[in-house]
Amino acid sequence: MRVPRTIQYVERAGVIDLRWGHPAPATLPVRAWQACQDEALRRYSWRALTYGRAAGPEPLIEWLCEHLGGTDARAPVPAEVFVTAGASQALELVSLLLTRPGDTVVVDSPTYHLALRIFADRDVELVGAPADGAGIDPPATGALLRRLRAEGRRVPLLYLVPTFANPTGGSLAAERRRELVELAGDAGTMIVEDDAYRELGYNGAAPPSLWSIASGRGVIRVGSFSKTVGPGLRLGWITAAPQLVRSLSDRGFVDSGGGLNHTTALTMAVMGYSGRYAEHVAAIRTVYRRQRDALTTALITALGTGLPAIDVTAPRGGWFLWLPLPEGISATELLTHAEQHAVSFLPGNRFYATPALDPAPDDHARLSFSMYEPAELAQAAHRLGAALRAALDGPLTPGRHG
């Protein structure tokens, strides 16, 4: 009998596939969610299943306000919160509201590759911001924004993931955060801050968001329950100026549909207020910290001998390790060898907005450690070491392609 396909992930027999930024199945809180859903239906009865409030149900918004006051430097007020069907939809809505085809959107270099696709769907031109090993470079980005404006271009948005970033795992330093908020304000460009990984810090709390540094003005912050509870919920939020929240609430389809994910939002409110969310996030942080440590330690061992020196840095949060490759080996080239060794990853050039004539840097591999157990991650590191040795030995011969 054919097993119906239900999920995005496609298993490849024997391959340890570090391309996927998906949660570890064992971390998904099936029983806790079921209990919260039962409780939400008991508490809200038919109100849980009818059309909801456009900006999202008050119980979730009020809990989020309180919760974000604890995980960030500034708590929003309810008028600053809009509930969405995930961070992806939030990005789609923001670009729908604030961009027109032909606009220019500036994005971090590198940055979340699928956000690039969401913006590209609006027929905007994507321009990579200048950046170095510490993230986006504010003075150079300020100069870029001024140049684009001088060329007569509209630059409504600047997108980045400043905290436990996808793909680098890094977080922007406090001084750069302040500079960036100031220069975007001066340029009249709205910052879109993707804050999906804020709660997955493994060496202490996340830094204050750009949104909090900017006192909630000039920055739209996008959050998600995908990484902390489960991506199948399709539940996230925006914190932004009340005027923007009103504009989103006034969209015809939001009004027509009665909010974007009402029933799930009410269950999430129960999970938040009951303390189950805090308990769950503390538990998964331990799981992901262990997975990060397993991959990092195994990479240091596997890449430590017989290869040029490679700087393996453990990310302080999030789901990704950004591995620099030795000179002369591109990630795309390494991938061919890695696939031969039954391990996979995403090459660095996937994470840049770069014009076709100016090839994107391809000197890093993004390794996702979210989905696999420590022993499998150690095995992945071992296979990557073998693949790298093979890549340094020379190109694949036709006979070795398999």
Ligand X SMILES: Cc1ncc(COP(=O)(O)O)c(C=O)c1O
Which one of 11-19, 23-31, 84-92, 212-220 is the stretch in contact with ligand X (CB under 6 A)? 84-92
Point out which span in 3-11, 83-91, 343-351, 354-362 binds ligand X (CB under 6 A).
83-91
Per residue, the 3-state secondary structure of 175-221, as one string, reads: HHHHHHHHHHHHHCCEEEEECCCCCCECCCCCCCCHHHHCCCCCEEE
Interaction between residue 201 and ligand X (CB under 6 A): no
Instruction: Give the one residue of 40, 158, 160, 196 binding ligand X; rule: CB under 6 A.
Output: 196
Sign, Cα dihedral of 55, 194, 200, 367: positive
Residue 21 Cβ vs ligand X, minimum distance, rounded to whole Å = 4
Q: According to the binding rule CB under 6 A, does residue 27 interact with ligand X? A: no
Nearest to 54 by CA among 91, 77, 79: 79
End-to-end CA distance of the chain: 31
CB of 230 to ligand X, least distance (A): 9
Nearer to ligand X, 86 or 142 (CB): 86
Which of these segments, 85-93, 169-177, 247-255, 346-354, binds ligand X (CB under 6 A)? 85-93
When binding is defined by CB under 6 A, the residue of 166, 209, 264, 379 that contacts ligand X is 166
What is the helix (H) or strand (E) element at residue 223, kind and residue range?
strand 219-224
**226 forms part of the interface with ligand X (CB under 6 A):** yes
Do residues 175 and 123 make contact, with C-beta atoms less than 8 angstroms apart?
no
Q: Which of residues 278-297 bind ligand X (CB under 6 A)?
A: none
Short-list 216, 187, 204, CA closest to 74: 216
Residue 69 CB, shortest distance to ligand X, in Å, is: 21
- As to burial, measured by CB atoms within 10 angstroms (0-12 exposed, 13-18 middle, 19+ buried), residue 9 is exposed
Is residue 110 reached through a cis peptide bond, with omega within 30 degrees of 0 on the bond before it? yes
Of positions 144, 155, 161, 380, contacts ligand X by CB under 6 A: 161
Q: How far is the CB of 348 from ligand X (least distance, A)?
A: 15
Interface residue list for ligand X (CB under 6 A): 21, 86-88, 112, 161, 166, 194, 196, 224, 226, 231, 236
